[in-house]
Structure 1
């Protein structure tokens, strides 16, 4: 269902404490430094019957201002790709009126409409990183009184665990469960024993990372839902001698990648090599380990090349993709050691050159299929005192994007929503793939799940 969304107010929310001016600049970690400025989206939908406050918008703004006292980097701006400072700049905060009822929208939730609920364009390369806000909010009020809270978090300093901690604390401060409050640690990740920043980065680091994150083109994002039975079937199909007990994430990633690669071959008329990229939190990979209260962009990509000339059957191909992804993840410890500086700056340069040779400068122009799991972040548990969200949406179209799949918990049952972004012509083929759709349901009604 298409609908009109009108912005009715724009303001800036700043930390409520005057002591914010005395806090030192937040030092970026190496991982923050080499991550581009782009916004990860999230939209939390709450029906009117969950909202008992007479003025929920005022409560949200006041509690957000209070939350920024402890999550102060979210209120700042970047300086020289070394620090976040200027905490008085604040968070952009929009309020919007949605001219339809929430239940009607959820009966047939058009993914193309979701960007109207967001304050920023998702997963776009931001042209002015030093001016970009670290976080932005848009509170959308439906005619029926339901609310959709659209959020954009800069991936420069925010990964899924950090975003979850921030939202849980904001929700608890608003009136949700007090046991969800998090005391963030903004110094641990950039310390000398973990991922200290570099004044000079290897020249190859920027094109390497941007090749992983962005590629100009026309992309489509679609939401596919896999129920518990389909997931069990895929886990059985993914099982092999190399991976005896594949996880839900491994099995879904392998299945989606197999069919996306097949659709891409049909669209282009010729096979291309593939690079599989799996986002991994490396808090527990670091030595010494980082705690979950350690804030920042503390993840890395496990990369693996996959042979495109293979004449395997589709089931064997899926097992091979799952095994390749699992092996790449198992080898990420050596990447973390280099990123922590244990091999010295020369080791970091050699590592970047080696990765770039595969990803950036390959003559065969490999396709990169990226996967990230949001299953453990608890976004469907965010309670501002109104109960849990009736649905968690992500995004509509992306501009300069990439082939990215985000796995998110379905609200009902033990299913998983896969938000898949592919080239427009490739997605058109995937949407017509009978074998794929035998296990994946394309954008079903949220209410009837």
Structure 2
């Protein structure tokens, strides 16, 4: 049975002051142009905001956000503009999309307690209703208990996930000319049936994962939380692929890409309040090695591979990025020019990781509702996309895995095995 829903408002919120003429046309950087042509989504959940008489004052909560958003759009003015093609933003103050929805029969505690990823998608616009050229769409959801969820839909062409943490700190720097853009290649994506699951690793589970990773045949490492979790997900994915296609494993190259914030890796470093895309991909490649334990696919081997790949995103790497055309040639791979495809390897199986674990998502600006009690992404139809984010306590890691059902099964099994071993 469909859940009763009441759409209260669909509006365009404009900046409280017009954008100066010299900022009206914003050319997208190389990093922006080569970012995926998708919107990313984040939802912030707030407990009930009671009025003096104990009732739920939705109008007052809504008013606070409507008053705050125009002020924020003065600072983040590209989000009130319109994306023109792939190369620039018309900062015309047309406004950010604002949608207000009420779910009178749903309780916030049920949304958080059950955490069914696919059901969360209704609390955020998948794409702006007014068109994909709108950089920002905000959906405010009020529940029957008085709690609320604010869903943000943001174009990846304009900024990355650090935007969520900037809103609580200081005005941004929008120097999009740090990297000169070449003509962008045409993007492409194939939709498939994807399952989304959420795994929570508290301190105890993280300690166990780190023990799996630490000891190797030749050396030891002290893995970070992200390294330990990434190795766990990547290894189980590799094992799942091997189990379903053992006869062809010698023909498969396994790869993982980890999105990295490069603000501190440039020389000189980007300002921490740089607004736009400032991410690079650390690429890890691994093929079967019959001479090594588990074919070279141990937790330790994969964590070391990841660490080495991240270290390669250094000042020299950043200098290559400044020349967009040559950088695209540098990172391009094909079966013709990539030595990883030697010895008859014909297939590549890739996982893509992005980590929000260091972003202060629970410390976003307080709009009079208090701090969020939970922050989440949503289910996304992108195969082998994995999102890591910190828990509210700051000590754990949430992992949101989007994979084919047959590939996610082994992750599910081993996660529950780890959970059963906890005291």
Give the TM-score category using the shorter length: 0.7 to 0.9
Q: How does 1:44-443 map to 2 (within 5 A)?
A: 44-49=44-49, 55-98=60-103, 99-120=105-126, 131-166=132-167, 168=168, 180=169, 182-187=170-175, 190-191=176-177, 194-198=178-182, 200-201=183-184, 205-206=185-186, 210=188, 214-239=189-214, 240=216, 241=218, 244-268=221-245, 270-271=248-249, 272-310=252-290, 312-313=293-294, 317-333=298-314, 334-341=316-323, 345=325, 347-354=326-333, 364-382=346-364, 383-396=366-379, 398-399=380-381, 401-412=382-393, 414-431=395-412, 433=413, 435-439=414-418
* 1:445 corresponds to: none
Change (3 A) 1:78 1:160: same
Contact 1:224 1:440 in 2 (8 A): no
Per-residue deviation, 1:19? 4.4
How many residues in Structure 1 have an aligned counterpart in Structure 2?
403
User: For the aligned residues, what is the CA RMSD?
Assistant: 3.0
2:86 & 2:108 partners in 1: Cα distance?
41
Alignment deviations for residues 379-401 of structure 1 (CA, whole Å, 9 cap, x no partner): 122232322211112113x23x1
Partner SS state of residue 99, structure 2: strand
More displaced, 141-150 or 21-30? 21-30
Scaled by the length of structure 2, what TM-score is found?
0.86
* 2:29 corresponds to: 29
Alignment deviations for residues 428-449 of structure 1 (CA, whole Å, 9 cap, x no partner): 4433x2x3322359xxxxxxxx
2:276 & 2:340 partners in 1: Cα distance?
26
Per-residue deviation, 1:15? 1.1
Structure 2, unaligned runs of 5 or more = none
Alignment deviations for residues 84-119 of structure 1 (CA, whole Å, 9 cap, x no partner): 114322211111112211123322221121001011
Contact 1:219 1:424 in 2 (8 A): yes
1:438 & 1:51 partners in 2: Cα distance?
46
Structure 1, unaligned runs of 5 or more = 169-179, 442-449
Change (3 A) 1:412 1:391: same
Partner SS state of residue 218, structure 1: coil
Scaled by the length of structure 1, what TM-score is found?
0.81
